[in-house]
Amino acid sequence: MTRTGGNDVLVSAEGVFKHFPIRQGIVFKKEIARVHAVDGVDLTVRRGETLGIVGESGCGKSTLARCLAALHPVTRGRITFEGTDVTRMSSAGLKAFRRDVQMIFQDPYGSLNPRRRVGSIIGDPFAIHGLADGAERKSRVQELMELVGLNPEHYNRFPAEFSGGQRQRIGIARALALKPKLIICDEPVSALDVSIQAQVINLLKDLQNELGLTYVFIAHDLSVVRYVSDRVAVMYLGRVVENAAEAELYGGPRHPYAAALLSAASIADPDEAERAERIVLTGDVPSPIDPPSGCRFHPRCPKAQDRCVTDDPELVVREGDPADHLTACHFPVERGEHLAREHAGIAQVSTEPDLPEATP
Amino acid sequence: MSSLSELEPEIVPTDVAERRVRGRSPLQLAWARFRDDKVALTFLVILVLIVVFAVLAPLWASWTDHPYSATFPKTGLDVNGQPVGPSKDFWLGADQLGRDVLVRAAYGARISLLVGIAAAAVASIVGVLVGTLAGYVGGWTDGFLARVMDITLALPYLLIAITLAVTFQVQSVAGSLTMTIAVIAFFSFAATGRIIRGQVMSIKQKEFIEAARSLGAGRGRIMIVDVLPNLVAQITVLASLLIPTSIVFESTLSFLGVGVRPPMPSWGAMLGEGSEVFQTAWWLLVVPAVLLLLTTLSFNLLGDAIRDAMDPRADRQSGGK
């Protein structure tokens, strides 16, 4: 999806923190610790582009998405949408903001109310914003159902009567109802079968071309993100560690974590896979309750040095990179540098029994 | 909807089968499961008979010519002043004052059902309201409402009920009815409220609530449109199980003389009076006791059947259909 969105910034996050307090006690709840789910994120999304956000489970992708959608109040920082600060909006401003920003959720089973009919679920946005009633609402809902490839006759069915892919289409139709400018997709396909994933992704891409949508697309499947995104941000423990155009990042990641993540992606071509290096990280992801000092990645980084333990690297353009390729690393990976300690390959020994040749 | 599907005659064979499945709401599915439950249907019939028995109370009174509060010292009591047993005149015997037990039991059924259903309804409405608010709004609201419910559950209800009855000395039948319903509802709403609160807290975590918020829906709308429909099954079950406990509660209060005022008969009061002479007049205990047992048993079994019918998990436990 190489579209030139121009430099018109639609959303920007500046130093966004979201900490979840862990409380103890029955009456006077004392805060004993906090989960640093999002811990200082800067990013911008330009109008018409798709920003992919990748990272492991628990790195704060979904929390960031909910902060961008103003579903979670941020602990600190600014999120601006078309120039206005979302974090300090009045309730009227927020309601207008909700018309422009929609979310598509990960779980096609959990995101639709099982007790309501599909027509009423998709018609909800019209009802909430008082836009269409009765027959008009029904016809607009049926238009939306057609747009996302659902049979408009299934208007009166319950979500339980649909498959996972169809349910995700219902969620997409609901998100499109108010003609939003930005759609935040929180792992929209990770709960679906691979064959259905492709259909839903293509639907999202077609809708973007047709309606000029901007997406923030969160996923942990690197190939999906690569396919849909113009730009990709890699997250690790609540931070963005690298943010670059899709081709830049996939061509030569600068942050060691991004390089490790990309090297773990499966490659369809077996010959290519044989040649590919695989960077195996040691240890587990540290707890977001007590993140490491300095660079968050230093305990697991193959290139870590003393400075990484003490100094927190900034997310800036590193030497030799284009202006929109940001990396938060003191010692970025150079072209041709090998971080891998082993080759991935398929080191499988045949398990077929050695039978003697049949003699005729 | 149907007119649209009629435009496609070429897919009729599959569509006919499909149309029978389509559009069946969870409630319709629950009813289909309920119909297969023979025990529940039997007790539903018994319950209907008890309701008919209660509704037709004035009819029994006029047939036997024995108004519920009238005493018949000549026919209802024998020469020693003892109540007569079941006979042609008094089908279910007479009590110590020579009143017809059948007629009184029928009027008592009215009181028991009225108090039971009204108290259960009030308790359910209050419980659902409090539980939903506490569970959804959270924070201080939840802290306050949850503590109120805890305190209510910890209070010694009989002592308080007796104190209230003694303090206010309500004399009229209507006044004592209202008071009884209010007391029962006050001591019952918290159990419902706590369960609903827990359910709401778990529903609140669902993504469709987040979806509604991201669409711009307010708290009130989310509670009514998104949360409550998911509680219909629980509320129905809880309410149907509250009815028998309320009936027993009312009987307890009336047995102790702090419930519905005499001369209005109530099963509990009849049990209280009958317990004094049950060695000579067993029918005074047996008639209200059996009615009470049948009514509460029916409501309880129906409540269980409704839960089985509405809870898809119960379906799985019984191994399929």
Between these two residues, B61 and B245, which has the higher pLDDT value? B245
Closest Cα in chain A, distance from residue B20 (Å): 12
Per-residue burial over A275-311, b if 16 or more Cβ lie within 10 Å, else e, is: ebebbebeeebbebeebeebbbbbbbbbbbeeebeee
B7–chain A nearest CA distance, Å? 11
Of A124, A155, A174, the CB nearest to B1: A155
Could you give the CA distance from residue A310 to residue A294 in angstroms, rounded to a whole number?
5
Task: For residue A104, name the pLDDT band (cuts at 50, 70, 90).
Answer: very high
- Domain residue spans of chain B: 38-317
Tell me how long chain A is: 360
Using CA atoms, how far residue A215 sits from A182, A186, A228, A237, in Å, is 6, 10, 9, 23
When mean pLDDT is compared across A41-55, A118-132, B303-317, the lowest value belongs to: B303-317
Whether the pLDDT of residue A67 is over 90: the answer is yes
Contacts for A322 with CB less than 8 Å, ≥ 6 apart: A245, A248
Amino acid A350: pLDDT: 57
pLDDT at A27: 66
Residue A266 has a CB neighbour count (10 Å cut-off) of 10
Min Cα distance A264 → chain B (Å) is: 30
Task: Give the gap in angstroms from C-alpha A257 to the nearest C-alpha of chain B.
Answer: 31
Q: Do A128 and B230 touch (CB under 8 A)?
A: no
- Least confident stretch, A126-130, A161-165, A318-322, B16-20: B16-20
Whether residue A223 is contained in a domain is answered as no
Q: What is the mean pLDDT of chain A?
A: 86
Asked if B194 contacts B123 with a C-beta cutoff of 8 angstroms, the reply is no
Nearest-Cα distance to chain B for A115, in Å, is 6
Answer yes or no: do B210 and A155 touch at CB < 8 A: no
Q: Residue A46 belongs to what H/E stretch?
A: strand A30-46
What are A82-93's pLDDT values in tens digits?
A: 988 988 888 888
pLDDT tens figures, B215-230: 988 899 999 999 998 8
Q: Taking 60 as the threshold, does the pLDDT of residue A332 lie above it?
A: yes
C-alpha span between A350 and B7 (Å, rounded) = 59
Question: Which residues share a beta bridge with A104?
Answer: A185
> pLDDT tens digit string along B32-83?
888 888 888 899 999 999 999 989 888 888 888 888 877 887 777 877 878 8
Chain B partners of A155 at a C-beta cutoff of 8 Å?
Answer: 1
Give residue A57's pLDDT: 84
Q: How many structural domains does chain A have?
A: 1
Contact B206 A110 (CB under 8 A): yes
In the structure, what pLDDT confidence band is assigned to residue B6 with cuts at 50, 70 and 90?
Answer: very low
Say how far apart CA A56 and CA A278 lie, in whole Å. Answer: 17
Q: In the predicted model, is pLDDT for residue A60 greater than 70?
A: yes
Q: Which two tokens stand for residue A161?
A: 């009567």
Which three-class secondary structure state does DSSP give residue B17? helix
Residues of B in contact with A174 (CB under 8 A): 211, 215
Helix (H) or strand (E) run with residue B175 in it:
helix B173-204
- Report whether pLDDT(A349) > 90: no
Apex A103 CA angle, A6 and A22, nearest 5: 115
pLDDT at B1: 43
SS3 content of chain B, % helix, strand, coil (to 5): 75, 0, 25
CB–CB of A156 and B22 under 8 A?
A: yes
ipTM: 0.81
- Does some domain include residue A317? yes
Residues found in chain B? 321
Q: What residue has token string 């900490």? A: A19
Place of tokens 């959990």: A110
Size of interface A-B (CB pairs under 8 A): 76
Contact B213 A71 (CB under 8 A): yes
pLDDT at residue B278 tops 80: no
Sign of the dihedral defined by the CA atoms of residues B61, B62, B64, B67, in that order: positive
Which of B122-131, B142-151, B279-288 has the least mean pLDDT?
A: B279-288
And the tokens for B166?
Answer: 């003694």
Chain centroid, CA B286 distance in Å: 22
| Domain residue limits at A311 | 253-344
Which residues in B lie closer than 8 A to residue A115 (C-beta atoms)?
26, 229-230, 232
Contacts of B23 in chain A (CB under 8 A): 156-157
A221 within some domain? no
CB A254 within 8 A of CB A329: yes
Q: Would A277 be classed as within a structural domain?
A: yes
Instruction: Indicate the helix (H) or strand (E) that contains A166.
Output: helix A164-176
Confidence tier at B158 by pLDDT (50, 70, 90): confident
pLDDT of residue B15: 46
Q: Which CATH superfamily includes the segment(s) B38-317?
A: MetI-like (1.10.3720.10)
Provide, as residue numbers in chain A, all residues whose Cβ is less than 8 Å from the Cβ of B207. Answer: 105-107, 110-111
Contact A98 B1 (CB under 8 A): no
Strand, helix or coil for residue B172: coil
CA distance B112 to A30: 49
> Would you state the pLDDT for residue B22?
52
Cβ contacts of A25 on chain B, cutoff 8 Å: none
Q: Which of A98, A111, A115 sits opposite B229 (nearest CB)?
A: A115
Do the strands A101-104 and A182-186 form a parallel or antiparallel pair, or are they unpaired?
A: parallel
Q: How many helices (H) and strands (E) does chain B have?
A: 16, 0
Please provide the distance, in angstroms rounded to a whole number, between the alpha carbons at the two ends of chain B. Answer: 29
**pLDDT in the model for residue A214:** 94
Q: How far is the alpha carbon of B232 from chain A, nearest alpha carbon, in Å?
A: 9
Structure-block tokens of residue B72: 């018949």
- In angstroms, rounded to a whole number, what is the distance separating the alpha carbons of residues A170 and B196? 29
Three-state secondary structure call for residue B281: coil
Q: Write the DSSP symbol of residue A356.
A: P
**Residue A125, Cβ neighbours under 10 Å: how many?**
30
Determine the Cα–Cα distance for residues B302 and B296; give it in Å rounded to an integer. 10
